[in-house]
Amino acid sequence: MGRCPRCGYALRFDGRKYTCDWCGYPRSQRSLTTTVQSIERNVKNKIQGLIEGFRNQRQVYVSYPIAARPCTLCGQSIPLSVSRCPSCGTLQPHAQTGPLVPTPAAETSGVDRRVFDYIAGHNGTISLSQASMDLSLPHDVLQSSIDRLKSSGALSQT
């Protein structure tokens, strides 16, 4: 790999000969108009890529550790809401320190239960925007449900 003797740009080997992508060496020299048009095209494509990147919604992944307890037989860490150990299948006692989901109103507890099950089903790591779409909940309702689950101790705060 060498440098173009005409412009100093890195030469590219295409299997048969070395060519310069900037000035066209060894062919005739590229005109200034062609070079400027190539630069304009490259800059335009870069700017369009940046604009598209800002338009696309970015997904933010947030991890919420789930309150867990060890299995009575094998010691595997399992969520408090699980009645059977996924590893050994042993039925777990329901000796929990407090309610998993606060129940000030019937609909609130239903939403909290759905959110908790969703988080548990995704191993404690979720995308808020994806969860909002999957659960058909507005973002603010989802966030307030997560906050209630945190304050009740169903989700560990780390």
pLDDT in tens, 110-136: 888 888 889 888 888 888 888 888 888
- Report yes or no on 157 lying in a domain: no
What pLDDT score does 152 carry?
Answer: 82
- Report yes or no on 3 lying in a domain: no
Rg of the chain on CA atoms, in Å: 29
Q: Are residues 18 and 47 both part of a single domain? A: yes
Other C-beta atoms closer than 10 Å to the C-beta of 43 total 10
What pLDDT score does 35 carry?
Answer: 80
Q: Answer whether 12's CB lies under 8 Å from 20's CB.
A: yes
Structural domain boundaries, residue 146: 61-152
What pLDDT score does 94 carry?
Answer: 65
Residue among 152, 72, 127, 105 nearest 82 (CA): 72
- Report yes or no on 1 lying in a domain: no
* Residue 24 zone, left/alpha/beta (φ > 0; ψ -120 to 50; rest): left
* Average pLDDT of the chain to the nearest whole number: 78
pLDDT at 105 over 60: no
Predicted confidence band of residue 78 (pLDDT cuts 50, 70, 90): confident
Q: Are residues 25 and 48 both part of a single domain? A: yes
Decide the pairing of beta strands 77-79 and 68-70: antiparallel
Q: Are residues 84 and 107 both part of a single domain? A: yes
Mean pLDDT, to the nearest integer, of 153-158? 72
Q: Are residues 139 and 99 both part of a single domain? A: yes
